[in-house]
């Protein structure tokens, strides 16, 4: 056994309910071997960053408008992550696409959660309620959420975990969003826990067998 801990860096933009679920899992010992080293938001008023401040966590607001281009903004984020010795970067409702500045600094070390069964209903512009509107409009019988490694192709990195959610005939995009979100809160901490254990064991992450919840 090692007493090493994997330091998580969280990037978020809004509500932060996935971040809260991860935080709770760390606090209650369900996510053993991990600690939250820093929480970074691009929006100063994001409820997620306000919650992190209330919890006494290390936080930072890094706003794109303060930088001449996306790479410079990502470099500032990278500097902050390095200052906090972050091992694993967790996107939790972060509404920006990462540049190679971050992707190259954290190969196979950036996770994201998406509110559909990827590869369906993913990619640029497929965010928030739009995902659930498209699923309901297509008459799908099932949707869900997916945790994946972040690569240059948006929402297309290796899949690390999925949870299926049935779509009922009376579901609206809003009701489906709520059902999927509840499962995101189950899935994300479990996948992070598995990745943390693999990192502590020195195992590669890229070809990890995905966690499938239902
Ligand atoms: C979630 O639906 C997640 O799948 C997507 O953005 C949303 C973030 O919600 N990437 P929250 O901020 O974690 O509540």
Residue 88's pLDDT band (cuts 50, 70, 90): very high
Once rounded to an integer, what is the mean pLDDT over residues 199-207?
91
Residue 1 has pLDDT above 70, yes or no: no
Percent of the chain with pLDDT over 70: 99
Annotate 176-205 with DSSP letters as a single string: HHHHHHHHHHHHHHHHHHHHHHHHHTT--S
From CA 192, how far away is CA 72, in angstroms rounded? 28
| Ligand 1 centroid from CA 147, angstroms | 11
Q: Is the CB of 176 under 6 A from ligand 1?
A: no
Count of positions (residues) in the chain: 214
> For the segment 125-158, what is each residue's pLDDT rounded down to a tens digit?
999 999 999 999 999 999 999 999 999 999 999 9
Q: Tell me, using a 6 A CB cutoff, whether residue 184 lines ligand 1.
A: yes
Alpha-carbon distances of 90 from 35, 112, 165, rounded to whole Å: 12, 6, 23
Q: Is the CB of 115 under 6 A from ligand 1?
A: yes
The answer to whether the beta carbons of residues 12 and 92 sit under 8 Å apart is yes
Pocket test for ligand 1, best of 18, 120, 163 (most atoms within 8 A of CB): 18
Name the band, by pLDDT with cuts 50, 70 and 90, for residue 207: confident
Question: Crossing angle of helices 17-27/173-200, nearest 10°?
Answer: 40
């Amino acid at each position: 056994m090692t007493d090493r801990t994997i330091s998580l860096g969280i990037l978020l933009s809004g509500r932060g309910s996935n971040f809260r679920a991860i935080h709770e899992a760390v606090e209650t010992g369900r996510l053993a071997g991990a600690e939250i080293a820093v929480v970074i938001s691009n929006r100063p008023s994001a409820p997620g960053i306000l919650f992190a401040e209330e919890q006494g966590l290390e936080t930072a607001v890094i706003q794109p408008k303060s930088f001449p281009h996306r790479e410079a903004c990502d470099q500032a984020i990278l500097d902050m992550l390095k200052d906090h010795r972050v091992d694993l970067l967790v996107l939790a409702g972060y509404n920006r696409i990462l540049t190679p500045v971050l992707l190259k600094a954290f190969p196979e070390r950036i996770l994201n959660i998406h509110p559909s069964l990827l590869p369906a209903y993913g990619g640029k512009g497929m965010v928030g309620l739009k995902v659930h509107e498209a699923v309901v409009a297509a008459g799908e019988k099932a949707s869900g959420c997916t945790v994946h490694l972040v690569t240059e192709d948006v929402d297309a990195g290796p899949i690390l975990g999925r949870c299926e959610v049935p779509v009922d005939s009376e579901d609206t995009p809003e009701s489906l969003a709520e059902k999927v979100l509840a499962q995101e809160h189950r899935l994300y901490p479990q996948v992070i826990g598995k990745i943390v254990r693999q990192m502590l064991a020195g195992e590669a992450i890229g070809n990890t067998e995905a966690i499938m919840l239902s």
